[in-house]
Amino acid sequence: MFPEYDVIVVGGGHAGCEAAVAAANMGSKVLLATMNMNTIAQMSCNPAMGGIAKGQIVREIDAMNGYSGIVTDHTMIQFRMLNLSKGPAMWSPRAQSDRMEFAGKWREMLEQNLNIDFWQEMVTGIIVKDSRACGIYTSLGLEIPSKSVVLTNGTFLNGLIHIGNKKFGGGRAGEKAAKGITEQLRELGFESGRMKTGTPPRVDGRSLHWDRMDVQPGDENPGRFSYTDTPALTEQRPCHVTYTSPEVHAELEKGFKDSPMFNGRIQGIGPRYCPSIEDKINRFAERDRHQLFIEPEGRTTCEIYVNGFSSSLPENVQYNALKKIVGFEDVKMFRPGYAIEYDYFPPQQLQLSLETKLIQNLFFAGQINGTTGYEEAAGQGLMAGINAHLKINEEDPFILNRYDAYIGVLIDDLVNKGTQEPYRMFTSRAEFRILLRQDNADIRLSQKVADLGMKNMDHRIEMVNEKSEAIKGIESFANQFSVEPGLINPYLETIGSTPLRQKIKLSTLILRPNVSFEAIKTYLPPLNEFLQQFDGEKISSAEIEMKYSGYIGKEKEQADKLKRLEKVVLGPTMDYGRITSLSSEAREKLNQIKPMNIGQASRISGVSPADVSVLLVHMGR
């Protein structure tokens, strides 16, 4: 009934979809196995993509030919570039999506890829022979053979949903939990743990008093995620902002005795940065209000997502509290919020390729690794898909470094440090964040995947080259072009910048704060004329490279130091137990993680600089 697939992807969420297309576009024959084909690429929680640090990840996925950015561009109903006042490394794109269109577009794009087959059924286990994954077992008792398996089970593994005192098995509202995989993996020697996350209630937009809330519109000139020519967003839907109040808090507190969070029924660890509303009230009792973002779930639907009101209190408590919120006085609820516990596998059990150390050709991506967020999941999915393909073709794994991409930081953190709570990306986790900007993900990454043999990269590479050329061209123009004081001083005075006394090079002038090509070009006709050949993004990228070259250079230097340490290869067969001069903690951790090189070893928690010296000595020859 089935051919032997190259890659079977288990799960059709953000990780699974990206894994499937990545492997398929590398040339593998892929089977996407999911319990329900109607919920492929569901946005189970927030109907939004991107945000701070996450937007950068989506840009990186797009630069590597993943589809998350393209799908978002096609289906978004609002776009904002966050953090515009914080400096270019912090600019972060974020979009509100039409949840149903998003899922529909993803499925359409998957279906268009002839390398991808589909199978709708619960996967109950992995066929393992000689410590190698070679297919899956399904609930109908089928065996589907493959050369590799990528697990992207999300919250489905023994998922347990809590609403007040009620609890029931499920992977998501209205969907069954997945059984069997955790149990089998534990038998194979994997360690597993429990995590917890939650989601807010969905309400009926027709019942809300919009005029009582503040409006939060999208950007006037909305941008997009993909570096390709996706359609521009023309019509946007706004979000709204309202607040909780002491009255709301009082209603919620009535249900605290029935809260599974507070009475200990929930064992899993939840994310500190995404607490439930009851948790916020409890921990920050001094605050008499909390902000809520009221987000539309789509362009045409009246379904509304109450961002900031995640809760696992009894449904009537949620309802009574909602009614006290300004604008929600006559609210009708579609469904209550809930908390969900699920199994994950501590990610120190993975290699940097996302292949498990115990079972060859078995890869994990997404929440199964203890992360949270669509973007984090999608990024891992893409990497797992590429690496599954490379592994079965006996090629070296594709590893992104911390100075290459946020996705590199993400996987490096997971594998070397593990995580105590659902892991979310923050820009502060990236020590090279000045290098990892949303404006240069294509320059950083596209060539890398093209070199691996990823399909359909020609046009992207052409555009990347064009952009690099443009940046060089603008830089050399600025190095040669002298600015006349008489022409520019009127402008400098208006922004309170010291007037010029003599001619200076444009490349020097651009270093001043608040001076941009866009603003000064009207005063300098030759510049204006020169820039006309480039689009705004290229000019902006060139400006960033020039304006911040000092900082960029410093980070590059730091990155170079790390690169040198990464050249000292350690390899998976090292027995650290025999190096007695290592501290016992270091020996244990190194044997567990088996770092690929000294650079990676230096980032494992418990490995001190002295241990690194000892390793260097041992690898010295």
Partner 1 sequence: MSYEIYNTIVAIATPPGEGALGIIRLSGSEAIAIVNRLFPRKNLLHQSSHSLHVGVIQSDEGQIIDEVVVSLFKGPNSYTGEDIVEISCHGSSYIIQRIMEVCLQGGARHAKAGEFTMRAFLNGKMDLSQAEAVADLIASESHGAHELAMKQMRGGFSKEINHLRNELIRFASLIELELDFSEEDVEFANRQELKDLIHELLTYIYRLKDSFSLGNVIKNGVATAIVGRPNAGKSTLLNAILKEDRAIVSEIAGTTRDTIESSIAIGGVKFRLIDTAGVRETEDVIEKIGVERTIKELDSSALLLYLFDVSQMEPADVHADLEQYNLLGKNLIVVANKMDLYPTRPLDIYYYPSYVDKKNLVSLSALNEMNIIHLQDVMVEQALNHSASREDAIVTNSRHYEALSETADHLQKALENMEAGITGDFLAMDIRYALHALGSITGEVTTDDLLDNIFSSFCIGK
| C-alpha dist (Å) from residue 76 to 45, 304, 499, 552 | 16, 15, 44, 33
Q: Which is nearer to partner 1, 152 or 427 (CB)?
A: 427
- Least distance (Å) from partner 1 to the CB of residue 139? 37
What's the distance, CA 174 to chain centroid? 25
What are the strands of the beta sheet with 239-243, ordered from one edge? 214-216, 239-243, 291-296, 303-307, 202-204, 333-335
Q: What are phi and psi of 62, to 5 degrees?
A: -65, -40
Which of 168, 210, 284, 334: binder of partner 1 (CB under 8 A)?
284
Does 557 help bind partner 1 (rule: CB under 8 A)? no
Which of 42, 199, 259, 307: binder of partner 1 (CB under 8 A)?
307
**Could you tell me which stretch among 205-213, 284-292, 312-320, 537-545 binds partner 1 (CB under 8 A)?**
284-292
Which of 142, 565, 588, 592: binder of partner 1 (CB under 8 A)?
565
**Could you tell me which stretch among 12-20, 29-37, 142-150, 576-584 binds partner 1 (CB under 8 A)?**
576-584
Query: Which residues neighbour 238 within 8 Å (Cβ) at sequence distance 6 or greater?
Result: 78, 215, 216, 217, 218
Does 576 help bind partner 1 (rule: CB under 8 A)? no
Q: Which is nearer to partner 1, 32 or 612 (CB)?
A: 612
Q: Which is nearer to partner 1, 134 or 435 (CB)?
A: 435
What's the distance, CA 43 to chain centroid? 13
- Report d(CA 219, CA 114) in Å as an integer: 37
- Least distance (Å) from partner 1 to the CB of residue 342? 19
Which of 132, 192, 579, 592: binder of partner 1 (CB under 8 A)?
579
- Least distance (Å) from partner 1 to the CB of residue 431? 6
Site for partner 1 in 79-118 (CB under 8 A): 82-83, 85-90
Q: What are phi and psi of 132, to 5 degrees?
A: -135, 135
Does 562 help bind partner 1 (rule: CB under 8 A)? yes
Which of 509, 582, 590, 596: binder of partner 1 (CB under 8 A)?
582
- Report d(CA 348, CA 354) in Å as an integer: 10
Residue appearing with tokens 């690496």: 387
- Least distance (Å) from partner 1 to the CB of residue 616? 6
Q: Which is nearer to partner 1, 531 or 570 (CB)?
A: 570
| C-alpha dist (Å) from residue 432 to 189, 404, 566, 568 | 36, 9, 16, 21
Question: 36: which strand partners?
Answer: none
Site for partner 1 in 258-277 (CB under 8 A): 271-275
- Least distance (Å) from partner 1 to the CB of residue 88? 7
Does 287 help bind partner 1 (rule: CB under 8 A)? yes
Q: Which is nearer to partner 1, 178 or 292 (CB)?
A: 292
Where is 281: in which H helix or E strand?
helix 277-283
- Least distance (Å) from partner 1 to the CB of residue 603? 8
Joined together, the tokens standing for residue 158 give 């023994």
Which of 283, 459, 472, 503: binder of partner 1 (CB under 8 A)?
283
Which of 564, 569, 571, 591: binder of partner 1 (CB under 8 A)?
564
Contact 471, 545 (CB under 8 A): yes
What is the rounded end-to-end Cα distance, in angstroms, of the chain?
54
Which of 118, 293, 477, 481: binder of partner 1 (CB under 8 A)?
293
Q: Apex CA 42: angle with CA 78 and CA 184, to 5°?
A: 145
- Least distance (Å) from partner 1 to the CB of residue 439? 13
Q: Which is nearer to partner 1, 264 or 620 (CB)?
A: 620
- Least distance (Å) from partner 1 to the CB of residue 48? 10
Q: Which is nearer to partner 1, 267 or 613 (CB)?
A: 613
Query: Which residues neighbour 571 within 8 Å (Cβ) at sequence distance 6 or greater?
Result: 596
- Least distance (Å) from partner 1 to the CB of residue 85? 7
By 3-state DSSP, what share of the chain in percent is helix, strand and coil, each rounded to 5?
A: 40, 20, 40
- CB neighbour class for 501 (10 Å; exposed up to 12, middle 13-18, buried from 19): exposed
Does 604 help bind partner 1 (rule: CB under 8 A)? no
Buried b (16+ CB within 10 A) or exposed e, 510-525: beeeebebeebbebbe
- Least distance (Å) from partner 1 to the CB of residue 313? 16
Closest CA to 510 of 536, 475, 486: 475
x/- site string to partner 1, residues 517 to 556, per CB under 8 A? -------------------------------x--x--xx-
Residue 591 CB coordination number (10 Å): 13
- Report d(CA 437, CA 60) in Å as an integer: 9
x/- site string to partner 1, residues 399 to 428, per CB under 8 A? ---------------------------xxx
- Report d(CA 465, CA 474) in Å as an integer: 14
**Could you tell me which stretch among 133-141, 256-264, 375-383, 607-615 binds partner 1 (CB under 8 A)?**
607-615
DSSP string, 360-396: BTEEE-SGGGTB-SHHHHHHHHHHHHHHHHHHHTT--
Does 602 help bind partner 1 (rule: CB under 8 A)? yes
Does 581 help bind partner 1 (rule: CB under 8 A)? yes
DSSP string, 287-343: -S--EEEEEESSSS--EEEEET----S-HHHHHHHHHTSTT-TT--EEE--EEEEEE
Contact 47, 96 (CB under 8 A): yes
Does 505 help bind partner 1 (rule: CB under 8 A)? no
Does 222 help bind partner 1 (rule: CB under 8 A)? no
Q: Which is nearer to partner 1, 106 or 423 (CB)?
A: 423
Q: Which is nearer to partner 1, 28 or 97 (CB)?
A: 97
Q: Apex CA 373: angle with CA 370 and CA 379, to 5°?
A: 85
Which of 558, 592, 597, 606: binder of partner 1 (CB under 8 A)?
558
User: Which residues contribute to the site for partner 1 (CB under 8 A)?
Assistant: 51-53, 82-83, 85-90, 271-275, 280, 283-284, 287, 290-293, 307-308, 310, 426-429, 431, 433-434, 513-514, 548, 551, 554-555, 558, 561-562, 564-565, 579-583, 599, 602, 608-614, 616-618, 620-621
